[in-house]
Amino acid sequence: MKFTRTNIADVIICEPEVHGDARGYFVETFRQDRLEEFLDYKIKFCQDNESKSSRGVLRGLHYQLAPAAQTKLVRVIKGRVLDIALDIRRGSPTFGKHVAIELDAKSKKQLFIPRGFAHGFVVLEDDTIFAYKVDNYYSPKNDKGIAFDDVDLDIDWQIAYDELKLSQKDTKQPKLKETNDLFEYGVNYYA
């Protein structure tokens, strides 16, 4: 597994080695020991989630506040998405900035998104299956979001606005500057 830091150093691209031949392929999708060695801190994933969506479905930008904050390791099993990790740590040099990366079933790339980030993705192909690990259970009372279309974020979702398919929840999220439900840079949310 190869790990590469993005333009926001805490967000990491994870590239597994794919072994393929005429029979198909084998890939090791997760190695906790190698990830923790790269991160230099411990992660304990406790829940796996999966969604199936059609082209144009946009989910996000979601996060959970402490004590239910979540780290995510996301990947595409079938299809293709544009994945976004948004820094919502007040005081961070990259506050309000984001990482955008295309994830697809062919490359098997994954994105590691630490606590302190909002996450979202838009589906670029029909019948896309998206999976992710989290290190904290879902907590409705700590569930928060940021408006996907906040112009200050300058996110290019790569699909026309009128083609997007959104949940009611995602049409009503506040802009980043309108919320106080954020993280603080420098606070250890893993303690």
Binding-site residues for substrate, in ranges, read: 23, 28, 47-49, 59, 72, 119, 143, 165
Cα separation, 91 vs 26, whole angstroms: 42
Q: Which residues pair with 78 in a beta bridge?
A: 129
d(CA 79, CA 143): 27
Residues making up the annotated binding site are: 23, 28, 47-49, 59, 72, 119, 143, 165
Identity at 66, one-letter amino acid code = A
Q: Catalytic residue numbers?
A: 62, 132
Cβ atoms within 10 A of the Cβ of 169, count? Answer: 11
Residue 132 near residue 64, CB atoms below 8 Å = no
Amino acid at 131: A
Say if residues 68 and 137 touch (Cβ distance below 8 Å).
yes
* SS3 at position 70: coil
